[in-house]
Amino acid sequence: MKTLRLPKPRLDFFASVLHKFGEVHAPVEHDGHYVFRRLARWSDARLTYTRTMLPPKKYVLPPRETLFRYRPDSGYVPPSKDPDTRIVLFGVHACDIFALNILDEVFAGPYPDPYYQARRGRLAIIGIDCTPDEHCFCRSMRADFVDHGFDLFFYDIGEYYLVLVGTALGDDMVIATGPLFEEVTQSDIDEYKRRSALKRVAFTLDVEIRDLPEIFELEYESEIWEDLGDQCISCGRCSLVCPTCYCYDVTDEIDIAGGSSTRTRAWDSCLFATHALVAGGENFRSARADRIKFRFYHKQRGFVAEYGRPSCVGCGRCSTACPVGIDIVQIIQRLRGVSDVARC
């Protein structure tokens, strides 16, 4: 992987060239939160943000999308032009890139999802390093560093950015901006290592995940799940903000008078009361306790069995979004029998 450096005063010029590669989106401030959004101007970008409300999954799996339409006269009508839009998403943290890599694996599985893959193929990712806050535990989830899934990745090393070039597209971006980038020096490398070590000790949350699937197996009947079921209000926010939750619902809207019909998919949540409702009125998880247990088990145990790692990347969004204060780290520690949330 090629590594270069970019003097910080040249970042604005670099950003001004990116429109050649697509619409430029980045985190911006909105109503006291951060959101990924198309930039009206580069100065709106907030590259030292904590976390966005919604993760980058909204670019590859939109909250609602039309899969196709059907017209009686012309038959199948393909989806809108939207997936043709190329997007350069600037300022994605390592955990969110890690989450996209997980989604890539899921949507490339035995039944590749063409809608997801079309959008992903048109999404360029420029990553940026970050500083953990009190909700981050990506280090525990081994997602505080990524070695693929980005086109470029920027590390702040003081007067420069250390820039990893991850793909040929990233290389094209570097080449398109002429001599902006420079060779790295030994002192750049030393500064990168110094800051990397500082980041490691900046985490205040620590979760041991090595035997977590076994702990979950042993605690399947724990009273914790009933307690959580009593607290949870099934709003689904935790899964909607999660960068790796990918459940969706597909509905057909059919004009029985013979007009055109539409097939739509929209985000779903395993916390919703109807998620496991099937024909005949049977609901496999009608109790809230069963639904919240299912979410935890799928992330920390079922996904490990299928993909070799948990699907949680430790971004902290579910804990910050939950209106009743259900905190994933506290639950894991309680299952482990640890009374206080472990601090590094």
Residues of the shown chain interacting with ligand SF4 in the complex, contacts defined by CB under 6 A: 232-238, 241-244, 271, 292, 299, 312-318, 321-324, 326, 328
**Nearest residue (CB) to ligand SF4, 202 versus 324:** 324
CA distances from 32 to 50, 51, 55 (A): 12, 12, 16
Q: Which is nearer to ligand SF4, 177 or 239 (CB)?
A: 239
Smallest separation (angstroms) from ligand SF4 to the CB of 34: 15
Q: Which is nearer to ligand SF4, 164 or 238 (CB)?
A: 238
In this complex, which beta carbon is closest to ligand SF4, that of residue 167 or of residue 234? 234
Dihedral pair phi/psi, residue 68, rounded to 5°: -170, 165
Provide the Cα torsion 129, 134, 139, 140; round to 10°. -170
Q: Judging by beta carbons within 10 Å of its beta carbon (0-12, 13-18, 19+), is residue 199 exposed, middle or buried?
A: middle
Q: Write down the least CB distance from residue 54 to ligand SF4, Å.
A: 11
Residue number with CB closer to ligand SF4 (45 or 209): 209
Give the shortest CB-147-to-ligand SF4 separation in angstroms.
Answer: 19
State which residue, 125 or 321, has the beta carbon closest to ligand SF4.
321
- Shortest Cβ 308–ligand SF4 spacing (Å): 16
User: Could you identify the residue written with the tokens 């006291």?
Assistant: 32
* Closest separation in Å from C-beta 271 to ligand SF4: 4
Phi-psi region of 234 (alpha: psi -120 to 50; beta: other; left: phi over 0): left
When the beta carbons of 27 and 316 are compared against ligand SF4, the nearer one is 316
Rounded alpha-carbon distances, angstroms, from residue 105 to 223, 241, 343, 344: 34, 19, 32, 31
Residue 110 C-beta: closest distance to ligand SF4, Å:
24
What's the min distance (Å) between Cβ of 107 and ligand SF4? 17
Measure the CA–CA gap between 289 and 273, rounded to whole angstroms: 11
Residue 143 makes CB contacts below 8 A (sequence gap 6+) with 94, 95, 98, 99, 313, 314
